[in-house]
């Protein structure tokens, strides 16, 4: 009877929620060192993709820490690029507020462009790092290509990440509840199935990504 229950939709949903909760907690704990955020994101995406490929069967701890260790250097380099772009966008926007027109508009446009580049790298580069063997330059190049070829996918992913923050601004009373949800599923849930448009990618739609060496996330580099 127990084995029959394990195959029910309810049991499948509970396993799904439990896996996402565990990987979310792992991401938060392993990001406390700040410089480990990139590797932790890569570990999270490795678990999420592997879970999809293997019909929900995945060792969360083994996959997460395997990807964390194997991708640490490249993921940390990506994190450094994200931090640098964030700094540039912040300084540029702050400086723009002190300028008269038309200089203010110009610098705000530049800051917005940098922020969009930052968003593209954040949403597309870390998932690639978990899935593909490629150079840092190749990952960044493919991220831009994906953003151009699949802008709707990128916008939907951005919306999934931004929705809780928008809700908190509109309804400040829900911040406490959102805090609990973020602790349990706030990063893993929007990241699930929202980053790379096709796994494996189409040779026609994404030729540069197709040419990158594809690998399972738990394999070593």
Residues 164-184 pLDDT 10s: 878 878 888 878 888 888 889
Angle at 129 between CA 123 and CA 135, to 5 degrees: 115
Q: Is 187 exposed, middle or buried (0-12, 13-18, 19+ CB in 10 A)?
A: buried
The pLDDT assigned to 217 comes to 42
Return the axis-axis angle of helices 103-131 and 136-149, rounded to nearest 10°: 110
Instruction: Indicate whether 13 pLDDT > 90.
Output: no
Most confident of 63-67, 100-104, 110-114, 129-133: 63-67
Please tell me the distance from the alpha carbon of residue 164 to that of residue 160, in angstroms, as a whole number: 8
Partners of 214 in beta bridges: 132
> What 3-state class would DSSP assign to 7?
coil
Q: What's the pLDDT at 39? A: 94
pLDDT range class, residue 3, cuts 50, 70, 90: low
DSSP reduced 3-state for 113 = helix
Three-state DSSP class for 213? Answer: strand
Least confident segment among 24-38, 74-88, 97-111: 97-111
What lies within 8 Å, CB to CB, of 15 at 6+ separation is 56
């Amino acid at each position: 009877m127990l084995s029959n229950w394990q195959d029910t939709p309810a049991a499948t949903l509970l396993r799904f929620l439990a896996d996402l909760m565990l990987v979310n907690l792992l991401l938060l704990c392993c990001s406390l060192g700040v410089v480990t955020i990139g590797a932790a994101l890569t570990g999270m995406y490795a678990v999420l993709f592997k879970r999809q490929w293997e019909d929900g069967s995945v060792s969360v701890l083994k996959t997460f820490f395997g990807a964390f260790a194997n991708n640490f250097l490249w993921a940390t380099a990506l994190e450094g690029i994200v931090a640098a772009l964030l700094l540039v966008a912040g300084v540029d926007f702050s400086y723009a507020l002190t300028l008269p027109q038309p200089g203010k508009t110009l610098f705000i446009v530049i800051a917005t462009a940098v922020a969009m580049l930052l968003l593209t790298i954040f949403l597309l580069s870390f998932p690639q790092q978990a899935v593909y063997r490629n150079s840092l330059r190749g990952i960044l190049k493919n991220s831009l290509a994906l953003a151009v070829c699949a802008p709707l996918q990128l916008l939907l992913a951005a919306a999934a990440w931004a929705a809780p923050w928008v809700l908190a601004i509109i309804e400040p009373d829900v911040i406490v509840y959102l805090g609990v949800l973020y602790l349990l599923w706030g990063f893993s849930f929007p990241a699930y199935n929202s980053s790379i448009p096709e796994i494996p990618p189409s040779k026609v739609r994404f030729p540069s990504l197709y040419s990158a060496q594809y690998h399972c996330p738990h394999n070593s580099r």
